[in-house]
Structure 1
């Protein structure tokens, strides 16, 4: 199972040079870049933990890549993504988000079905990783 979230999610994993180029594109467009990580990649989990502070007024991608290296060292067996925020009036939202790190083993999701009144079926999706407590999901 391969988690597909964000831009480039159906492509092979980006190399560090490709990540650097995308980060530089974000900086050239005056977007604030930040690094986030999680061990719960559920599609509705939009609030990941932020690594460090958002990087505003960054002149080049080297600082972001240095932070990414530090994040991979600390949380290398979790999902890590780069997020680019556009603070331009009228946008004020995320313009670009893509995964830059995955755990070695991605257990995926299971579909749970429950029967309700009138034999109606309801479905929900739950990640296998949530069977273990936070912080121990990809140990």
Structure 2
């Protein structure tokens, strides 16, 4: 199963040259960038761990790619994403977000169904990755 979150999630993974082009687009639009990572990509888990500090004053696309690669090296079995923030409205608005690293094996999710009173049916997603403890979820 392939996790589909972010702008380019239905496309094949972007290579470093394509990522650099997207970084340049963000910098051309004066969007600060940040790098985040997680081993639990549940759709409702939108608060991923921040890698270093957001790059508010960064103007060099190669420096941003350097930080992405540092995060990839430190967390090779995690999801890593790049976020670009549009601050023109006076608040932090995510303008662009896409995954730049994935674990080699993505176990996926299962749909859990629970029947309640009065024929109510509730559904929940369960990430197979969370069956293992944090830090060991993608090691096989």
Normalised to the residue count of structure 1, the TM-score between the two structures is 0.96
Q: Does 1:105 align with 2:105?
A: yes
CA-based RMSD of the aligned residues comes to 1.1
Where do 4+ consecutive residues of structure 1 move more than 3 Å?
none
- Number of residue pairs matched? 139
Q: Aligned partners of 1:2 and 1:24: how far apart in 2?
A: 27
Give the aligned partner of residue 77 of structure 1.
77
Q: Aligned partners of 2:8 and 2:59: how far apart in 1?
A: 24
State the Cα deviation string for residues 26-80 of structure 1 (Å, max 9, x = none). 0111111010000000011110001111001212211111111111110011100
Give the aligned partner of residue 42 of structure 1.
42
Q: Aligned partners of 1:51 and 1:91: how far apart in 2?
A: 21
Q: Aligned partners of 1:81 and 1:70: how far apart in 2?
A: 13
By how many angstroms is 1:91 displaced? 5.5
Q: Does 1:114 align with 2:90?
A: no
Give the aligned partner of residue 125 of structure 1.
125
Normalised to the residue count of structure 2, the TM-score between the two structures is 0.95
- Secondary structure of 1:36's counterpart equals strand
Q: Does 1:11 align with 2:11?
A: yes
By how many angstroms is 1:90 displaced? 5.0
